[in-house]
Amino acid sequence: MAKRPNPRALRAARTYTIEEAATALDVSTGTVRSWVKAGLPLMKSQRPFLILGDTLRSFLQERAANGKVTLQADQLYCFSCKAARTPMGLLVDCIPQTPKTARLLGLCDVCGGTCNRMIGKGQIDQISRIFNVAMKDGPTA
């Protein structure tokens, strides 16, 4: 199953049954049914109910756009709150991920959960001016 459905896997001019849409997007039929409950329009004039490819495409693109959170320079993303938060005491760990990227980890000042942010390794100097950064050893690909 796909982590995120790819709207480009759909043909805009085609209609899909719930099962066909699930197969095309590599998700379960229950996922597509939950999208219908969340507002994805169906063509209900006959059975089986059909979904317009263009409508499904725009629905998925809108959901992806609404799910993005813009972070300020002094914020990380809290997994528990699902919001941008400042880490406690501006303390973060910097863990290398790839040769070009690193992950900042801190604790949420609201709920105490884990906060996260991906940065380029070239940004570490900028980040060090904002946060108290502790460099950690981590996986490097």
Taking only the tens place, the pLDDT of each residue in 68-120 is: 788 898 999 998 988 899 999 999 999 999 999 999 999 999 999 999 999 99
pTM of the model: 0.62
User: Is residue 104 within 8 Å of 92, Cβ to Cβ?
Assistant: yes
**What are the helix (H) ranges across the chain?**
18-25, 29-37, 53-66, 124-130
37 vs 1, which has greater pLDDT? 37
Residue ranges, comma separated, of all CATH 1.10.10 domains in the chain are 7-66
Place of tokens 């004039």: 45
User: Is residue 73 within 8 Å of 129, Cβ to Cβ?
Assistant: no
Q: Say which amino acid occupies 86.
A: T
Domain 7-66 has CATH 1.10.760: no
